[in-house]
A and B are shown apart, each in its own frame.
Chain A
């Protein structure tokens, strides 16, 4: 797992058994994190980056990683801010304190979605069982974060290593995503 860009944020949940662990690919539930949706214009973006400790990127589909702070570009005025689970109130207060004069919207979405870690040499192949975009590194370099679909469900895909992806989906969709991934990986177990 040395290729993990963000192991400080997303780590397998030690309390959970792996959804899938076979040669070639594993699917692990990630431990909870603090997730905040941040919306605002340019001045708010700059101020938020300072208060948060990681710049909110302006380049589409990129993420800024700074220690245990991650700012992911979701849209031109939308970012997801990630921090350790226990930092929710401190991050919230720092941001709201720094942005009192600047129009913005900060919303806690820590519980809205679940994350899984899909890694291994077959990770991209496995995700392409339902993700319609090109996952070749030339088309989706390490560090890319993007919304897309997994079969019929919206997901956020963050490539944190050549063979490691974080896949997030709304809580009630995760059974569908992880269930189909496990089903699609079944053939890798064939002799």
Chain B
């Protein structure tokens, strides 16, 4: 198949391995080793996308991750990933890519009308155009803008790929594998330090991979790269990570890497993750990120076929691709001349080298003339022709006073440009270092170090191959010494060729065109022109941060890498301020776009969060239970039978539990073993209740406050022995209560001889509740007299259950006779299944959390977090009985005396009954005096719990109501969208007020 722009020979591609791929429906050929960009160029395709705002035809501009234009969608396994940079996408057999931001086709795009209407879209046009009428914003403007703007289409299906996470540590991280990075890695590895070398590209070598002319230690650069990689690979303590981007530099040398594991494979093994997030902690970091070549800002500098010069050289030398047959080279620095020479040597016609400088180096001119290349000095491009591909350029002669006169027109099918080099200081900047301005280089370079890092090579402002290598070695040595205190002096390799060049320019270039009618792009990705930046300044944006946001230059994925310096210079000129006074915007993470999949890594699907299951879980699943999430726990919610809905199932479970017996899994309740001679004293201080006189074998309900006086937890506490308590907490409060107890013990009362241990998961807990509870458990209990006299309500004893050790509590959260059987967790399943079978003899039922909630609400028992919200006191809950009046102090006691807590008018717990017994109020609904209160009237309170109560034969509710206790019998209202619901305020207890059912 013909690849008309492929060279005869050369490059690092595998010419024996031809690959087919598809771009916008057309089948094309490339080679193994190509990127999508190089393969497209080999086929003569430059036009790959439409620009963001004006929908201008855009081509491939660069050969690296800084590419702003060539963003494509890649189809893989039935879904599409948008915004992949064609310059980074490795070609594989069958690759399918589509262009973006065009309709109906790349060649004919309706949105291109925006380009003709561009006077309507100046900088800040959002802020100006869509201001009136205000109401139009939500319904008209924003939807239209959102539909028209944006790049690519998000994938429609859930991501079927896997992503991995790895925490890693090393002595020295080297970011970038160009000459400086390789030298640094060699020097550091030689000391025995643990080294990680990462590079965003598929191959290590960086600029050396496209450096055909230079030699290192007398060898071809590519040969030196191969030998160096082999030497590094041979060391166990070195990890080489190709296709891995260091995208974020955080505190204390915490560096995030994104490794693309399978992105380059046509048929990846599904066992492999697509990407891996490396959460890396490096003792020392060497940043060898290189430099990015700046585009030149001349009118119509964005046509397809116009590339930065070094990209043209990379496509030629690394990929064997000519960017055109007739190439114009426009430059302000030396390095672009080498691109022109390499192209000419490969038989491409270089129509001219137009150098902005009046006196470029004579040796370059001599080489050009030897090749018969026309050289224009003091020359700029003042415009270009060609719609979907550049077809020619206007040249202008710049006089010493800056005036431009026409220097004719040239025909070409590609333009290579170079405004000079910008050191890539993004990672350094993310490390919180502050760059400094080097006037002689016209560049910002790293200044003081905040973290343990150093830069080397071009990102350090060091150019020329020999110098870069030396800078790399030194950085590697320095890093290893700092990390492990060792040095191993290597003989530095030296290079011949690839010398440091001179020159460079910033900002927009002079031209002889009507400035108001031409577009010279500063930021290709965001369609920001030199004109926009100047307009922003004229309209009052004087800070670079304001200019950035007003024009959007340097935003989005570019993060200023290509555009910052030119924009800064234009702003500096317009403001008539030195460039360093204009300031520099922040280089944010991530360095290049990073997928959500990588960030989420394994935290998705079944492993989004731990799923905690109780011992009865599998049994409940088999019974068809519905589950609810309580924190991380899965708890059986209700057990529907024969197509019952929740209402029917809960009504049945409630009724059976009160008539006969119910079985409930209470294993999730927090459990804390409090042990030591001062155990009772400690509980005296932590809970409102008195504990010292509680006899071993007895239980007490405990109420816990914070020192502000508000209820934070509750639970039953059993005294197992003089110095040992079994404390229970709410399910959700377990971790917090434990941490709070530790806090007081360690920091306020370290003198107390008491220690706490979490036993939440030591025990499985089955609650058997109902009039038949004793009969159900009796056959299995040994060593405990279950009679009402020997084992009354609120007792605890140890014995065995089904032959395994147990702590048996006689307690009730239902108002019925009840027992809670605590057994070692491993026996939980056996005990549960035994009881589940046993209750069948009494027509009993298993019940879930919903029935538990109804049963306790019928009795008016609170649930912390439902009746309370962190602002509720024991008195608000009518629970002053739980406070040990004689205690001098406990956590919360002083708080209870605070003025607001003793003031009149606090909200108090009450019961509510609706006039219509069938109406069940909504939990959280507000309560008012009037049925139709005026707007702005404060609510009197809110509904905290509301259910249909089988025992009461009607709906019931608990609520927190201002001065509620004084309102018994009065009618309040619960306003709802369909009208207010009248409710009567009643005592918050709806069943067995005397508690007779407990004492049986």
Contacts and interface: CB of A to CB of B under 8 A. Distances in A.
Interface of A: 32, 37, 39-40, 77-78, 103-113, 125, 128-134, 136, 139, 151-153, 170-173, 175-176, 179-180, 183-184, 186-187, 189-191
B166 A129 contact: yes
Contact of A109 (B281, B609, B675, B762): B762
Nearest to B165: A129
A129 B825 CA distance: 29
B826 A32 contact: yes
A153 B166 contact: no
Given A112-B758, A189-B271, 15 more contacts: A37-B757, A39-B755, A39-B757, A78-B755, A103-B753, A109-B757, A109-B759, A110-B824, A111-B826, A130-B167, A151-B602, A176-B607, A176-B610, A179-B606, A187-B271
B355 interface: no
Contact of B825 (A78, A111, A151, A180): A111
Contacts of A176: 607, 610-611
Given A111-B826, A112-B761, A133-B167, A172 B755 contact: no
A172 B673 contact: no
13 contacts: A39-B676, A103-B677, A103-B753, A108-B762, A108-B824, A109-B759, A129-B165, A130-B602, A151-B602, A171-B761, A176-B610, A189-B271, A190-B269
Interface residues on B, range: 35 or more
Contacts of A130: 165, 167, 602
Contacts of A40: 755
B165 A111 contact: no
Contact of A128 (B167, B611, B763): B167
Given A132-B279, A186-B271, A105 B755 contact: yes
Contact of B761 (A113, A125, A175, A179): A113
A37 B673 CA distance: 11
A180 B761 CA distance: 21
B507 interface: no
Nearest to B679: A105
Interface in B153-177: 162, 164-169
Contact of B269 (A78, A107, A152, A191): A191
Nearest to B617: A172
A112 B607 CA distance: 22
Nearest to A153: B610
B594 interface: no
A107 B675 contact: yes
A128 B168 contact: yes
B46 to A, nearest CB: 38
Contacts of A133: 167
Nearest to B602: A180
A20 to B, nearest CB: 13
Q: Nearest 7 A-B pairs (CB), nearest first? A: A39-B755, A105-B675, A105-B755, A172-B612, A103-B753, A134-B169, A111-B825
Interface of B: 162, 164-169, 194, 261, 269, 271-273, 279, 281, 602-603, 606-607, 609-614, 633, 673, 675-678, 753-763, 824-826
Contacts of B273: 187
A88 B397 CA distance: 95
B167 A106 contact: no
B610 A173 contact: yes
Contacts of A189: 271
A190 B273 CA distance: 10
Contacts of A184: 164-165, 602
A149 to B, nearest CB: 10
Contacts of A109: 757, 759, 762
B128 to A, nearest CB: 48
Contact of A151 (B603, B606, B753, B760): B603
Contacts of A134: 169, 281
Nearest to B268: A190
Contacts of A190: 269, 271-272
Nearest to B261: A187
A111 B761 contact: yes
A187 B609 contact: no
Nearest to B279: A132
A136 B825 contact: no
A185 to B, nearest CB: 10
Contacts of A171: 761, 825
A173 B611 CA distance: 7
Contacts of A136: 169, 194
A141 to B, nearest CB: 15
Contacts of B166: 125, 128-129
Given A129-B165, A179-B606, A187-B164, A104 B613 contact: no
Contacts of B611: 175-176
Contacts of B676: 39, 103-105
A2 B825 CA distance: 32
B762 A112 contact: yes
Given A184-B602, A187-B273, A111 B610 contact: no
A177 to B, nearest CB: 8
A184 B163 CA distance: 9
A107 to B, nearest CB: 4
A183 to B, nearest CB: 7
A109 B761 CA distance: 8
Contacts of A139: 169
B340 to A, nearest CB: 46
B610 A112 contact: no
Contact of B167 (A78, A111, A132, A152): A132
Nearest to A179: B607
A153 B606 CA distance: 14
B534 to A, nearest CB: 49
B489 to A, nearest CB: 24
Contacts of B756: 105
Nearest to B273: A187
Contacts of B281: 134
Contacts of B168: 128
Given A32-B826, A39-B755, A128-B167, A173 B612 contact: yes
Given A128-B168, A175-B611, A105 B826 contact: no
Contacts of B169: 134, 136, 139
B510 to A, nearest CB: 56
Contact of A131 (B167, B602, B763): B167
A3 B559 CA distance: 52
Contacts of B162: 183, 186
B602 A175 contact: no
A86 to B, nearest CB: 14
Contacts of B167: 128-133
A78 B675 CA distance: 13
A25 B269 CA distance: 20
A110 B763 CA distance: 10
Contacts of A110: 762, 824
Nearest to A132: B167
A186 B194 CA distance: 26
A187 B272 CA distance: 5
Contact of B607 (A108, A180, A191): A180
A191 B824 CA distance: 44
Nearest to A128: B167
A152 B978 CA distance: 45
Contacts of B826: 32, 111
A58 B121 CA distance: 72
B907 to A, nearest CB: 37
